[in-house]
Amino acid sequence: MTARVSPVARRLFDGRNWHENAALAHADGVVTEVIPGGAPEVALIVPGLVDLQVNGGGAVQFNDDTSAEGLAAICAAHRTLGTTSILATLITDTAAKTAEALAACAEARSAGQAGLAGLHLEGPHLDPRRKGTHAEELVRPMEEADLQRILAAEDSCGHLLVTLAPEAATAEQVARLVAGGVQVSLGHSDCSAETAAEYFAAGASMTTHLFNAMSQMAHRTPGLVGATLDAGTVSCGLIADGHHVSDVAMRIALRGKRGPGHVFLVSDAMAATGSDLAEITLNGRTIYRAGGRLTLADGTLAGADISMLDALRYCVEGLEVPLDEALRMATLYPALAAGLTGVGHLGAGAQADFLVLDNALQLQSVWVGGDCSKGEGGA
């Protein structure tokens, strides 16, 4: 075991608490402890960011390149932007494409792909009334073959998350998925709060991109939004880019979420993130990039043009979320929501994945397993 020490940070955030003038001791890629340091060499050290909804990056869209090589490119692109753990996300597609995605994730995980925590299947079992950018002709109810395909892949894909709508899958199917080790998130649904509560009771423990593509909260019909905020067992992703959800709605959700579940950040990033692409394609349709937005020709939002670090900064600068809480929303909370115990924090036993930021929250370097992969510095 080779002991090493990070640069000394004026402030080090371990996922829960701040440490002043501190460094991170680690060995063989694993954190051993936070230790007092001397004169600070860098401004901030924080855990590597955790993103549970990554559709693409670095000019690669997972739906278009469902291979281990495609996953490697996506992980590498997001790593350069400060995200060190992702769930690669397949947007609604054919059964054959889903099988390819599961096989690619299993192959990449078997090969030790850095940063790939697992797979997120967002659809195709959704409510077509709330399809968003998902291709309507591919949206369909869950059948036994779909359920068995997912369950069979649970052992080989790391963490496996499925977004579905109650309109397209039964509560019994949800319970069977959860019993088989698969996490279920509700999304792209027009369901009532009562129906959502039934599915939460069946084992669904997450809601996908709160407010977007779902029944909204009214004073007598609280919908999926209201059910999610009121359910302490449920955590939910949020796209904080200033386009998907208004600042007022985000502030209300952050104040109103019942615990112990949390609101956490997701990027919903597409292939454009980490690239200079002006447009991309999804299921044969062109997605245009302009003004910080990704849209179909009709103006429908189609994923987001942000990284997790962008979302974190938006929370701090636009929503006035305290920095420590914004960091938790981008690290600890998504890790807790997905049961990823070794990432999202810098406690003893965690992976030594961390970022060096300056005081303006600009990325200076990325460290994976204790090794610097971007920027200056070393230990």
Q: Would you state the pLDDT for residue 1?
A: 67
> What H or E segment, with its residue span, contains residue 213?
none
Residues 252, 352 share a domain: no
Q: Is pLDDT of 369 > 50?
A: yes
Structure tokens at 202: 């069946």
Q: Which one has a higher pLDDT value, 259 or 277?
A: 259
Residues 187, 293 share a domain: yes
Average pLDDT, the chain: 95
Q: Is pLDDT of 375 > 50?
A: no
Note whether 171 and 195 are within 8 A (CB).
no
Q: Is pLDDT of 377 > 60?
A: no
Q: Is 209 annotated as a binding residue?
A: yes
Alpha helices in the chain (DSSP H): 68-79, 95-110, 144-153, 171-179, 193-202, 223-230, 247-256, 308-317, 323-330, 332-338
Residues 34, 87 share a domain: no
Tens digits of residue pLDDT in 207-233:
999 999 999 999 999 999 999 999 999
CATH of the domain at 350: 2.30.40.10
Tens digits of residue pLDDT in 273-332:
998 888 888 888 888 898 888 888 888 888 888 999 999 999 999 999 999 999 999 999
Rg, the chain, Cα only: 20
Q: Would you state the pLDDT for residue 334?
A: 98
Residue burial 327-355, b: 16+ Cβ < 10 Å; e: rest: bbbbbbbbbbbbebeebbbbbeebbbbbb
Tens digits of residue pLDDT in 71-101:
999 999 999 999 999 999 999 999 999 999 9
Q: Is pLDDT of 351 > 60?
A: yes
Which pTM value belongs to this model? 0.96
- Asked if the structure places residue 379 within a domain, the reply is no
Choose among 366, 371, 355: nearest CA to 43: 355
Q: Is 186 helix (H, G, I), strand (E, B) or coil?
A: strand
Which of 140-149, 184-193, 262-271, 273-282 shows the lowest mean pLDDT across its residues? Answer: 273-282
Residues 36, 128 share a domain: no
Could you give the count of Cα atoms lying within 13 Å of 86 in the half-sphere of its Cβ? 36
Q: Which one has a higher pLDDT value, 330 or 377?
A: 330
Residues 171, 147 share a domain: yes
Q: Would you state the pLDDT for residue 295?
A: 86
| Residue 144 buriedness (CB in 10 A; 0-12 / 13-18 / 19+) | exposed
Name the active-site residue from 268, 305, 310, 353.
268
Residues 324, 191 share a domain: yes
Q: Is 90 annotated as a binding residue?
A: no
Angstrom distance (rounded) from CA 129 to CA 113:
37
Q: Would you state the pLDDT for residue 374?
A: 63
The DSSP result for 118-173, as a single string, is EEEEE-SSS-GGG-TTS-GGG-----HHHHHHHHHHTTTSSEEEEEE-TTTS-HHH
The domain total for the chain is: 2
CATH of the domain at 182: 3.20.20.140
- Asked if the structure places residue 18 within a domain, the reply is yes
Residues 323, 182 share a domain: yes
Boundaries of domain holding 297:
49-338
Residues 101, 205 share a domain: yes
Residues 138, 25 share a domain: no
Residues 268, 235 share a domain: yes
Q: Which one has a higher pLDDT value, 376 or 68?
A: 68
Q: Is 17 annotated as a binding residue?
A: no
Tens digits of residue pLDDT in 132-165:
889 999 999 999 999 999 999 999 999 999 999 9
Please confirm, yes or no, whether 64 is among the known catalytic residues. Answer: no
Q: Is 121 annotated as a binding residue?
A: no
Q: Is pLDDT of 376 > 50?
A: no
Q: Is 271 annotated as a binding residue?
A: no
Q: Would you state the pLDDT for residue 287?
A: 86
Q: Is 188 annotated as a binding residue?
A: yes
